[in-house]
Structure 1
Amino acid sequence: MKDERGRRLTRKQKILLAKQPRKLNPANWLCISDDGHLLEIRHRTSGRVAYIPYSSKEGQNV
């Protein structure tokens, strides 16, 4: 479901977030955009925005 804040993360995006050294909790983030190279996410309550670069081939066999 998408609203003005963003949409819920997909399984692939949640796995990508969990692999980050910052240990971001996927339940607290919403996806703003994902173009296959850069994931733009927003925190549900604080509104903080984070950008996570990745290769589109990461997680294909997950």
Structure 2
Amino acid sequence: MAKLILMSVLILTIALPAKAARDPNPSRGLKKAILWVILFNAAYTYGVIVWVPRLGFH
């Protein structure tokens, strides 16, 4: 499970900006990429602080 959590960071670091880059408007695509990365980082931080201790990883 810990390996999956770490792999999610690597995968989404590439996937989120790649998806946003498909937007025809470059400015809007950049804003989407920044927003998605910030939201993912917030969710990941919450997961590390709350879920990881509950799953027994110390």
Q: TM-score range by the shorter chain?
A: under 0.3
Greater fraction strand: 1
| TM-score (normalizing by structure 1) | 0.25
Greater fraction helix: 2
| TM-score (normalizing by structure 2) | 0.26
